[in-house]
Structure 1
Amino acid sequence: MTPRPAVFGLAAERLHLIGAGGMGMAPLGLYLAGLGFQVSGEDDGWNPAVRTLLERAGVRIVAPGALPDDAQLVVHSSAIAPAHESRRRATARGLPQVRRGEMLAEVVKGKKLVAVVGSHGKTTTTAMLITVLQRAGFASDWVLGGLFNDSSLPPALVGGSDWIVAEVDESDGTIGRFSPEVTLVVNLDWDHPDHYAKLADLEAAFAALLARTRSAVFISDACPMSARIAARGGFNAPVHTFGRAGEFKGNVLRYTPAGLELTLGGRFALPHAEVRSRGEFNAANATAALAVAQELGAKLRADSLAEFSGVRRRQAVLHASALTIYEDYAHHPTEIRALLGSLKQALSGRLVVVFQPHRYTRTAQFKAEFAAALAGADSLFLMDVYAASEAPVAGGTTADIYAELKKSGAADHVTYLPGNDAGLLRALQAALKPGDTLAFVGAGDIEQSARDFVARLKSTEAREAAWNAFLLAVRPRLAAATRLVERESLANKTTMRVGGPARVYAEPAGAEDLQVLLREMHRRALPVHLLGRGSNLIIPDEGVDGLVISLGHEHWQKFEPHADGRIWAGAGLRLKNLCGLAIKAGFQGFEFLEGIPGSVGGALRMNAGAMGGWMFDVVDEVQLMTLQGEIRTMKKAEMHVDYRHCAELHEAIALGAWLKPAASAQSDDIRRQIDVYQKKRVESQPREPSAGCIFKNPPGNSAGRLIDESGLKGERVGDAEVSTVHANFIVNRGHATSADIIALVKKVRARVKAAKGVDLEPEVLLYGAEWKDVL
């Protein structure tokens, strides 16, 4: 085993890493553990795969800010500020603290370092070089700045070789500590303006690195800045070029299903190579890796890169079905332009891009270039800047990129919702079409957004498969009179006149068909919702991902008086019709229901009430069907009923009820009482479309009075308005959306809370969703 080196002149054995989950820090942690150091690490947001890698290597994971008592030296990412809790504790204890690059430079001293440097493609090129050397049996250690896509190779290896391949980052100036044997400059761009305020500063840093290189320098023949630095001369090592016309020549012969095939020329001993990667950019990366490997003495093979697994977040495929989803770490305009160009080469459909800018300083410097590069997407979704350790900079926000896109006339295909990543991803999912290619692009926490989106998409695809299986199973078994349709609009089936479609909508023609539907839904664990007259509910604009059952068929609308004095009322019978039929038959006691815009089933579920009366005041027995398809009859005394609630009907569907009239009376007498109720209702309730009372009355108080006294009558969001007639009603003034209504509900609750100290609870249902998730 390689002896553990002394670092910084210290006999330190116990090292603590802050930001250990980062793609630069984690491989370094693995390498340090491999050298024999006792390593601990912390991070504010672990990727589970990275944490597992470190734990398997013996790295002890601690909570953020929990600097171990036995730590002797602290290694931190450059993004970790001195104010970080563990850094403050380290300072208080007098512990030495070094940056990632400083530590890497220290542990590679005395070894033959192949430093892969430059602005774009370092990680992929380093991974390609490691792969080629391993394929050739060339012994070397390595430290990558990322993870391979599969587990065939670790991101760091201690093998005892004199050689080590490492990705060296220039972003924080630590590049000045390295003296490589071989330096590979993939390309150069003026990046990291937070550290290199002038282009000349960046060029000087790389010129100094090349001057310290002992054996060989490789630069791209397509990089003007590299050529400019090389032209200064005065280097100890010869400078070689790679690329389409370089000393080491590589050109794409053709693209293959797996990637591409290169023709090699110039100083290459190999005539061609297969590369499992796409695009001209990766062709240049592969050419560079092959050139350096040959220079080191490795024996190249045509298939050296044919099984290259790729690097995580570098054109990594996250999902492939009707949609193909990539993620990529590109965070500079040059990288983005190359990425989009590479992806478009293999596309037949649209290219949809989600982009998260990285750092305010970079965004401020390159906002126009970002806009130009991103204009290559057919549809673009913009996330807010990932700040890293920076404070905001004028001109460095996502809004500034959006303004540049508007200026160039390219904003018509752009979606930007400031500060609302969840809303952005919902909009993205709604906009995608089969055959699209989607790319999540950026170096911040967009990685987690991409994985969350893919998980949601997979769930959606699994749900769609379940729906299709359900429809195939039930359609042959239903009567011709039963209506079963997909994506039926629900807005016009409600009294509020808002909302989106049902995934599946059904009007069963009888109990047997209802049983078929419910049993299949239960078997497939799919959600079921009952829709009555459509009052007392708000349907979300995106609709309902469930089976919406309406008992609208005439089978469910029966009104049948029996000799025992009771009346059978089907669940689909409208309350207005129930009252009308009761009048004709001379039955009294139902008058209070006449103005409630609902059906018997809905009135049972909600224990609907008005004018001092409640639905269960007139109920004797209820017949229901459980969501498993079992029919039961329950006496009123067996049921748990209270204000606006019947517990048994939250997991069952009412089929109808046996009702008990209060008494028999003359039709004219009953009609006069109804006229009194109607007059009162006209005077106290709005005529515009509404869902009825929005809020429950607090104990001993009136929701309408509290809203009125808070000055909210006439308050509007869009076309949703707090009624000027009755403040506990929200009315639709014509084109209100569910989002308008929900926003107005929030506004009313907040104002009443501030003015009256009362938390109003919604009485109206948020159909297919929960108020707690939106309030």
Structure 2
Amino acid sequence: MSPTDLISRLDTSEVRGALLPGFALGDTTWFRVGGNAELYFQPADAEDLSDFLRRLPAEVPITLVGLGSNLLVREGGVPGVTIRLSQKGFGGARPIGGSRLEIGAAIADKQVARAALDAAIAGFAFYFGIPGGIGGALRMNAGANGGETSAQVIEVRAMNRAGEILTLSKADMAWSYRHCGAPDDLIFLSAVMEGTPGDPEAIKAEMDKVVEHREAAQPIRSKTGGSTFKNPPGASAWQVIDAAGCRGLTVGGAHVSPMHCNFLINEGDASAYDIELLGETVRARVLAAAGIRLDWEIKRLGVFAPGREIAPFLGA
């Protein structure tokens, strides 16, 4: 189905947000590669999102994306409707008493760390080193530098496919390492998160250490999706990748970072196919060398272009 065909089937008379057929979704990712969204929707606010979902036919698939930092869009594009929440409608982080913040799902993690600093709330400095948004952090239990999203959350507001708003407890989120067990079709809108009273100078010093560590150890100024694979039990992903001889490994315009082996880099002319093929080559080599099956941390969306399919572990 073409984007024009899809939008012609929908009741968009009351949509207030941006609704764009054939949107170049790959251009919004940090890798800067990949295909188009069949239909892209950026709702004005929660009411606009709810109205749209209630009118959307049940057979039309929905894909939710965030800031694009941990995302690879396949060349065949993303069927159905791709939804991205706006900062204006779903951003912000405000103190709500004690050491709690109410945080919108579309706000960048780094901005949350700054808001907590302004409010003299400790426990959020680790977000200063995560290049994503809170919606993604909730979905994957993002963490760094000893901090983790699940430790901070009190409750989460979410919207289901029917356009209904739900409140989820920490137990409802069913978190584990880099994973959330809440239903995949829920769209996270905001969260109440809690830290502890802190000294602004100490919080700022902790944030500075986070930045120093990232700049020294990670290729943060390259076109990359961040950490590519989850750490396997009892090991670090970069170490098993290095031991398998993958440091600097290249496929097309993509290569494994010599600085940090768990980062894949687009040198400027890589395709989504190059990047995913490189990732699966790394997984295959680690499996052969160490018997470890690395799991992707980067989210891969959409369908392969015809003739450019890639089997997991290269079919091993």
TM-score (norm 1): 0.38
Q: 1:483 Cα shift? A: 1.1
**Structure 2 unmatched runs, 5+:** none
Corresponding residue for 2:14?
477
What is the aligned counterpart of 1:697 among 231, 244, 252? 231
What is the aligned counterpart of 1:468 among 1, 8, 11? 8
What is the aligned counterpart of 1:754 among 288, 296, 302? 288
Q: 1:564 Cα shift? A: 4.5
Q: 1:660 Cα shift? A: 0.4
What is the aligned counterpart of 2:23 among 469, 475, 488? 488
Partner of 1:680, secondary structure, is: helix
Corresponding residue for 2:166?
632
Q: How does 1:217-232 map to 2 (within 5 A)?
A: none
Q: 1:519 Cα shift? A: 2.2
Q: How does 1:226-245 map to 2 (within 5 A)?
A: none
2:49 aligned with 1:514: yes
Q: 1:491 Cα shift? A: 2.3
2:216 aligned with 1:679: no
What is the aligned counterpart of 1:614 among 148, 151, 162? 148
What is the aligned counterpart of 1:665 among 188, 198, 204? 198
**Structure 1 unmatched runs, 5+:** 1-459
Render the CA deviation track for 1:582-621: whole Å, top value 9, x for unaligned.
1111111001111111111110011111112111111000
Answer whether contact 1:707 1:748 (CA < 8 A) is retained.
yes
Tell me, in whole angstroms, the C-alpha distance in 2 between the residues paired with 1:495 and 1:730.
11
Render the CA deviation track for 1:551-573: whole Å, top value 9, x for unaligned.
12412112121135421100011
Partner of 1:533, secondary structure, is: coil
Answer whether contact 1:686 1:726 (CA < 8 A) is retained.
yes
Q: How does 1:298-309 map to 2 (within 5 A)?
A: none
Corresponding residue for 1:725?
259
Tell me, in whole angstroms, the C-alpha distance in 1 between the residues paired with 2:293 and 2:93.
41
CA RMSD of aligned residues (A): 1.8
Q: 1:768 Cα shift? A: 3.0
Render the CA deviation track for 1:449-475: whole Å, top value 9, x for unaligned.
xxxxxxxxxxx37x96444211xx12x
2:268 aligned with 1:734: yes
Tell me, in whole angstroms, the C-alpha distance in 2 between the residues paired with 1:611 and 1:769.
34
Q: 1:503 Cα shift? A: 0.9
* AA aligned opposite 1:512: E
Answer whether contact 1:509 1:553 (CA < 8 A) is retained.
no
Tell me, in whole angstroms, the C-alpha distance in 2 between the residues paired with 1:754 and 1:616.
34
Q: How does 1:55-204 map to 2 (within 5 A)?
A: none
* AA aligned opposite 2:76: E
Q: How does 1:280-319 map to 2 (within 5 A)?
A: none
Tell me, in whole angstroms, the C-alpha distance in 2 between the residues paired with 1:626 and 1:684.
39
Partner of 1:498, secondary structure, is: coil
Q: 1:656 Cα shift? A: 0.4
Partner of 2:81, secondary structure, is: strand
2:112 aligned with 1:594: no
* AA aligned opposite 1:683: A
Render the CA deviation track for 1:131-164: whole Å, top value 9, x for unaligned.
xxxxxxxxxxxxxxxxxxxxxxxxxxxxxxxxxx
Corresponding residue for 2:84?
550
Corresponding residue for 1:535?
69
Task: Return the structure number with greater relative CO, CA threshold 8 A, min gap 6.
Answer: 2
Partner of 1:760, secondary structure, is: coil
Render the CA deviation track for 1:710-760: whole Å, top value 9, x for unaligned.
111111111111010111110111121100011111211221122222222
Answer whether contact 1:605 1:649 (CA < 8 A) is retained.
no
Q: 1:671 Cα shift? A: 0.7
Percent of paired sites with the same residue:
38
Paired residues, number: 307
Q: Which has the larger radius of gyration?
A: 1
Tell me, in whole angstroms, the C-alpha distance in 2 between the residues paired with 1:601 and 1:747.
30
Partner of 1:648, secondary structure, is: coil
Corresponding residue for 1:340?
none
Render the CA deviation track for 1:43-74: whole Å, top value 9, x for unaligned.
xxxxxxxxxxxxxxxxxxxxxxxxxxxxxxxx
Q: 1:524 Cα shift? A: 3.9
